[in-house]
Every structure is written in C-alpha cells, then in structure tokens.
Homo-oligomer: A and B are copies of this chain.
Amino acid sequence: MTTRADDAPIADAASLGDLRALVNIELARAFSAEDASVAPLGRAIDYSLLAPGKRIRPVLALAAAEACGMAPAAVAKVGAAFELVHAYSLVHDDLPAMDDDDLRRGVPTSHKVYGEAVAVLVGDALQARAFELVATDDDVTPAARVDVVALLARAAGWRGMVGGQYLDIDESRTDHADLVALRDVHDRKTGALIAGAVEAGAIAAGVDAVQRAAFATFGRELGWLFQLVDDLLDATGSSDALGKTPGKDARDGKVTAVAAFGGVDALCAAVDEQLDRCLEAAGALPDDGGRLPAIARYVHGRDH
C-alpha cells in the first residue's frame, strides 16, 4: 500500500483539531454531575467516553455539515451522539459474556474497573443520552432532528450495529472467509454507524433527498474502507497502534478481511482501491465533500 503522500495532503490530527475540540466539549458536558446521587455513575461513564480516541464518527458528521455550508458547531451534539453510541458498543462488546476484553484504548475496560453490572449500565446510559443529545440540538430543525434520531436508531439497532455484533458472536456460522458474509457483518457492525454519522451531518444541515443519498453513498464506502484498514492492522499492526490486542479477531475465529481476500498483499490492494471509491463518491458531494476526502485519506493512511 502506498502512503499517497504524492497525491494530496493527508489530514492529520491538527487539521481536524477544530472539529475534535467541538466534539470533546460536548462529550465532557454530556454527563456532568449536577445530580449528586448519580454522579458516581457519571464518572464511570466518563471513564469510557472521555478516553482518548480519534472521534472519527462525530468528526465525519461535523465535516459533512460543513461541506453543506453549515457551521460545524451547530451540529456538535448530533456528532457527539454518534460517539456516545460507539462508546456504548465498545463497553458492551468488551463484557466477559461478549468478547471478554481486558484492554481498550490502552487502558483497562469498564467491566474490569467498575464490574460487569456497572459496565452494562454505563452502556445503557450512553445509548439513551445519545438520543437525548440529538433531540436537544436546538440549532437543527425539529424535522431534521427527528430524521437523525430515526437514522441513528436504525444504524445502531437490530438491523445495524447490534445485528452485526449478533452475527459476529454467532459461533454456528461457518462462512468466515466469505466476502459477501464478511461485508454484511461489517456493514452492520461498523459501517452503519460511520455511514450514519456522515449522513446525519448532511441531514442536520438540511440537504435534499438527492444530496442525502450522495452522502450516504460516500459514508458506506468510507465505512468499508475503515473496516478493511482495521482488519489489516489487526493482522499486521502492533498493540500500540490498535489500542487492543492484535490478531485477536483471527484467533477468536471471527470473520476477517485477510482470510476473505486471500492474504495481506491482496487486502492491501483492496484498501487502495477502496480509497479510490471513497474519493470518487466525494466528487458527487457539495463543495467536493469539503474535508471528507481528506478524512478518507487519513483513515486509509493511519499508522501504516
């Protein structure tokens, strides 16, 4: 895989820093403890929510809104909602009954620190608050807020993220190297929320149905790029780069792109091709997608 340094500037942490800063302010506020009796629960939630992360989902929502001419700050709550859902999914996926992970983003997982019962509640509370943030984003029209709530719920729910996790832990499945099955699981588990974040930013900015579909297409291509890169890092990367144990997915017998594509080299080529699809899809967006193509390059090039 080339680094594409010759092609166009790769967005680095600094060039997205303004969007991340807007998001981090919302995240820090989401469970601030004016309510003394549940303040300890708020701190347990903050432990997972405020752990350092790339905030890729909310940054995508803000960048999509910006490409439509809306100030990113106006959709900060909408963006933050996608991070809350992502954070809840990590806390629940890490549970002993699920993936049983002790380490996440380089620190002990919620259930290791607070116990399983609190970790279940942390995830449940994060999900509820996500929808509250969307519903109370006063800079967005009520009609658009309703559309974003429906979109987030679909992306997160039984046909989306939760459905993907269900398929991922289904030990009766034998199609681990089948590309169609792999993409079905990943489109639900990871892709739906990434694509949803892009589309939500555009909805919040008040785009029409045609533009909304174009953002959705870009989002789906980016979600697949994201997952291919993640699987590549799982096969080749270090624990530091991933923030989790490399090779674990493959050892757990889970669907992986390396197996589906027939090796690391073939997967590298697929990752490059997938970036091209993202950039092509961005061409159909207002303002050529604004900062979205740069984010696609950032996803493509991260840590390798």
Closest 3 CB pairs of A and B: A132-B153, A97-B116, A128-B157
The residue in chain B whose Cβ has the minimal distance to the Cβ of A129 is: B157
User: A16 contacts which chain B residues (CB < 8 A)?
Assistant: none
A25 CB-CB contact with B under 8 Å:
no
A150 CB-CB contact with B under 8 Å:
yes
Q: Which of A100-143 contact B (CB under 8 A)?
A: 115-118, 120-121, 123-125, 127-129, 131-132, 134-136, 141-143
Q: Which of A38-91 contact B (CB under 8 A)?
A: 38, 40-42, 45, 88
Contact of A128 among B45, B125, B156 (CB under 8 A): B156
Report yes or no: A41 in contact with B166, Cβ–Cβ below 8 A.
yes
Report yes or no: A38 in contact with B131, Cβ–Cβ below 8 A.
no
Contact of A127 among B127, B135, B165 (CB under 8 A): B127
Report yes or no: B37 in contact with A125, Cβ–Cβ below 8 A.
no
A266 CB-CB contact with B under 8 Å:
no
Bound complex: CA A131 to CA B146 (Å): 10
Of the four ranges (under 10, 10 to 19, 20 to 34, 35 or more), the interface on chain A belongs to: 35 or more
A206 CB-CB contact with B under 8 Å:
no
Bound complex: CA A41 to CA B45 (Å): 27
Bound complex: CA A45 to CA B166 (Å): 12
Report yes or no: B134 in contact with A115, Cβ–Cβ below 8 A.
no
A291 CB-CB contact with B under 8 Å:
no
Contact of A121 among B116, B125, B165 (CB under 8 A): B165
Report yes or no: A98 in contact with B117, Cβ–Cβ below 8 A.
yes
Report yes or no: B97 in contact with A157, Cβ–Cβ below 8 A.
no
Report yes or no: B169 in contact with A153, Cβ–Cβ below 8 A.
no
Report yes or no: A132 in contact with B154, Cβ–Cβ below 8 A.
yes
A95 CB-CB contact with B under 8 Å:
yes
A162 CB-CB contact with B under 8 Å:
yes
Bound complex: CA A187 to CA B218 (Å): 45
Report yes or no: A135 in contact with B120, Cβ–Cβ below 8 A.
no
Given known A-B contacts A38-B163, A149-B131, A149-B135, A158 and B120 have beta carbons under 8 A apart: no
User: A149 contacts which chain B residues (CB < 8 A)?
Assistant: 131-132, 134-135, 145-146, 149
A184 CB-CB contact with B under 8 Å:
yes
8 of the cross-chain contacts (CB-CB < 8 Å) are A35-B159, A37-B167, A127-B128, A128-B158, A129-B157, A131-B152, A135-B150, A142-B143
